[in-house]
Amino acid sequence: MRRWLKRLYNSLLNLYCSRTLSNCGEGLFVGGFSRFTTGTTIGSHCSFNGMKVLGRGSVSIGDYFHSGTNCQILTENHNFSGNSIPYDETYILKAVSIGKCVWFGNNVIVLPGVSIGEGVVIQAGSVVVSDIPDFAIAGGHPASVFAMRDVDHYKALEEIGRFHQ
């Protein structure tokens, strides 16, 4: 009975999320409450275990993305340089781009305007404030690159279609 309820819950989450997205590839899996905006585009075979996309800016997520729980992607900031302090009534929108085969640990936050490359791993609890290059392993607050993936191994697995789903 529990397995049946879990499948029903996941199906409802998938339906809810896929209806709010701008575009969504095949094989979407939503395993925990997630919220997306209409400016969000998601590739194929992506897995979300608790993601909130906040703001009116656009978000592009590549194929085979995986996230842990309680992750956030922000796409707008208050305008602190406007005509009021600490900020005025306007917002600054900035797009976020995430490449294919990216993995976020739990509690990752991505700030507006960030670009994350292909094959990147972001350590749990990290705050990504600047661009992360392809195949990097990054973490911390602010997130910084502390290792690189073995690109030859990655490409060999990609060539034979060994993707986690």
Structural contact between residues 127 and 141, judged by C-beta atoms closer than 8 angstroms:
yes
For residue 22, the tally of other CB atoms under 10 A from its CB is 14
What does DSSP say about strands 66-67 and 51-54: parallel, antiparallel, or unpaired? unpaired
Can you tell me which residue has the tokens 């990609």? 158
Residue 13, SS3 per DSSP: helix
The tokens describing 79, both together, are 């305008």
66 is catalytic: no
Out of 45, 66, 78, 164, the active site residue is 78
Structural contact between residues 45 and 27, judged by C-beta atoms closer than 8 angstroms:
yes
Structural contact between residues 105 and 68, judged by C-beta atoms closer than 8 angstroms:
yes
Task: List the catalytic residues.
Answer: 78
